[in-house]
Amino acid sequence: MISPLKLAQTVDETQIAEFFQESVGHWRSERRYYTLPEGETKEMESLITIRFLEPGCDELQNLGLLHNLPNSVSLICGAEVTWDSTNVLKDRKESQGSTLFGVLGNILYRDRGFATSKPVTAKYYFPNTKTLCLRTEYNGSVFEEELKLIGSKYRTRQTIISRASEQLMIGQYLEKRIES
């Protein structure tokens, strides 16, 4: 007999694998960041590529090592996300890079965070099959993210960054698939 907790984790792991697979492809992301409480706005456009990572692949094994997971523990799936971002208002390249995500239970292991190059973990859950919610905490900050698949051609994202229970920034994104 499977315990209810294990069954719930298995459902989440299946959902996140399906979510990652549905996100595979090339996307154009239009982003707007609001700095609070001043309200300063930053507009970004990014080209994003998402690749699904199969269990046992080199990237997931290396991610497990970064997080000091025992050799007997394997991440069940993951995604590699690469980006190239331009500041729309200043018409200049802002950043480019990549990050890895790996899944085990209800934890998402990342090789880097939003505001750090160090490995971080996030707790995730699905309020419905097309919406992934993440909560990441490090360096006294909390990052709450919601990613929502809308049909096969669109995704929306929202990020709220807080410190000491005070919201510092809100990021809102519309992502359009440019090819699978």
pLDDT (0 to 100) of residue 11: 58
Give me the residue spans of the domains in the chain. Answer: 4-177
Dihedral angle sign, alpha carbons of residues 124, 2, 21, 62: positive
Class assignment of domain 4-177? mainly beta
Angstrom distance (rounded) from CA 155 to CA 175: 5
The reported pTM is 0.88
Whether 165 has a pLDDT exceeding 60, the answer reads: yes
pLDDT, tens digit (0-9, with 9 covering 90-100), for 22-57? 999 999 999 999 999 888 899 999 999 999 999 999
pLDDT, tens digit (0-9, with 9 covering 90-100), for 55-96? 999 999 999 999 999 988 899 999 999 999 998 888 888 889
